[in-house]
Each structure stands twice: as C-alpha cells, then as structure tokens.
Amino acid sequence: MTIQFYKYQGTGNDFVMIDDRDNKYTDITEQQVKHLCDRRFGIGADGLIFLRNSDDYDFEMVYYNSDGRTSTMCGNGGRCLLRFASDLGIEGENYSFMAVDGVHFGVVDDEVVSLQMVDLKDIDDLGNDVLFMNTGSPHHVVFTDSLPADDFVAVAKSIRYSDKYAEEGVNVNYVKVTGNNLEMRTYERGVEDETYSCGTGVTAAALGADFLKKTKGDRLKIKTAGGNLELSFKAQREGYTDIWLTGPAEKVFKGKVKL
Ligand SMILES: N[C@@H](CCC[C@H](N)C(=O)O)C(=O)O
C-alpha cells in the first residue's frame, strides 16, 4: 500500500500528517507508525497525526508518538494540524476539532497558528521549584537557574524512569526564567529523547512560572531549542482558563511512501 503523506513542523517539533477523512488507515499498526517516524528507515518525525472527520467539529486529531503508540495531547501537533487543515482547503480561519483531551479551538493566519489548550485545574507542588501538572499530557517541570547542558537527556531519563513515573511515563522539562521570558528544554515520553519543542510542555512551563509567581502578567514568551512560542492565559482562583499557545507551524514537504 502507498500512502500520501505531508511533513509539518512547529518550532522544530515535527510530524507526519495523513489526511484520513475516508478512514483508509484505521487499522495501521504500531510497527508501521514507528517505521514511518523512523529518521533513518522512514520519513522521520517526533509523531504522526491522522486528520479524520468528526460529526460535531471541523475534524478530529488522532495522535501517535514516534514509538508507534497513541498518546495524550500534542500541542505543537495540534498547531501543525490546524495549518494542515487550512492547506487542505478545509474552510475557515477559526477551527474547532476533537482531540484525545477534548475540544480545541484554533486560529490560522499567515505567520502563526494559535491553539486553545484545555483548562488546567490542578498543579502538584513537589517542592524546591518542581511541579507536576497535566496540560493535555503529563509534565514534570523543574525551574532552575541554569539549564542542564550535555547531560540533559541523562538527567531527564533518570526522572522519567523513576518509580514515580516509570509505568505511565512523563515528559520532563527544565525551565530558566529571566524576567518574563522563559527558556526551556523538554524530554518527551514516547519519543524517549529530547525534542526541539513541546507545546504542552511550554504550556506547563509558563503556567508553572505564573503559579510560582516567577513572572508577571498573562502573556509569556518561551524560547525552545526550535524557536519561540507565546502562551497567554487567565489565572482563576483555582487553575487557569483561556490558555492559548501561539507560534509558527509550517509544511516542510510532501511525498508518497510504501507501507
Ligand atoms: N510534542 C507534544 C507532546 C506529545 C505527547 C507526549 N510525547 C506524550 O506522550 O506525553 C506537544 O507539543 O505537546
């Protein structure tokens, strides 16, 4: 079988996109997804996303990590999917779509794509400037004065495979705050490596910085290894609402691949 695919990236978090509005690929296997995402034997990506029809919304997002397994929400993937929908000619600038964590709204313009993230209620304060929260995907967030350098993946793996997280897995973020600007590195579960950027991780870092009162205001800039993102939000008495993740998302190339 030959598949028409598209490759997208949002701040260097890259995805294979497949238009599956006619449900041709619903029986794709873990091994096949893993192969498509493989950087040497396949197309190469941090994840794979199917765009499918939805009865109640503009479309549905079905996300797989590069290990071949379906997972929880992917923020940059959602932003890339919005650009893909627009490129496919699905009508509108303002979209709504269904994902694993619920309904998302999105806006596509020439320069950037904005995605509304799910509201956040609970943040676990683990002490010493370390937080855990679920922004659509689970994130362990460490605030630090200097980001780990060469040893980042080893440090992140020791947290991801610790007893607390070993079974379910977790994404690990190290974040440095300077004024209202954040700089961060993320290790992703399911990729089991550092990625250039992670949208749900950026969301966790920015909301965490506000929660710990490390920043001021409701719009923060975040620098990732693959580029800059912005997060705006409303702080409520308990948690956060109106959370919008904004930044670039673009098509890189398209092609056909044999499965
Ligand atoms: N890159 C994503 C997060 C994808 C999901 C994550 N790997 C997990 O399994 O928790 C993002 O941009 O949010």
Q: For the segment 95-152, what is each residue's pLDDT rounded down to a tens digit? A: 999 999 999 999 999 999 999 999 999 999 999 999 999 999 999 999 999 998 889 9
Q: For the residues 184-206, what does the mean pLDDT come to? A: 98
Identify whether 37 is a catalytic site residue: no
List all residues whose CB is within 6 A of at least one atom of ligand 1: 13, 65, 71-72, 74-77, 137, 171, 188-191, 195, 198-200
Q: What CATH number was assigned to the domain covering residues 123-239?
A: 3.10.310.10
Q: Is the pLDDT of residue 93 over 80?
A: no
CA–centroid distance, 190 to ligand 1, in Å, is: 8
Where in the chain is CATH 3.10.310.10?
A: 2-117+249-258, 123-239
Cα 56 to its chain centre, rounded Å, is 23
Determine if the pTM surpasses 0.80: yes
Q: What CATH homologous superfamily does 2-117+249-258 map to?
A: Diaminopimelate Epimerase; Chain A, domain 1 (3.10.310.10)
Say if residues 184 and 200 touch (Cβ distance below 8 Å): no
The one catalytic residue among 33, 48, 62, 74: 74
| Strand 2-10 to 13-19 pairing | antiparallel
- In 109-208 the beta strands, taken as DSSP E runs, fall at 113-117, 123-127, 130-134, 138-143, 171-178, 181-188, 193-195
Q: Respond yes or no on whether ipTM tops 0.90.
A: yes
d(CA 154, CA 169): 15
Confidence class for position 21, pLDDT limits 50, 70, 90: very high
Q: Is the pLDDT of residue 92 over 80?
A: no
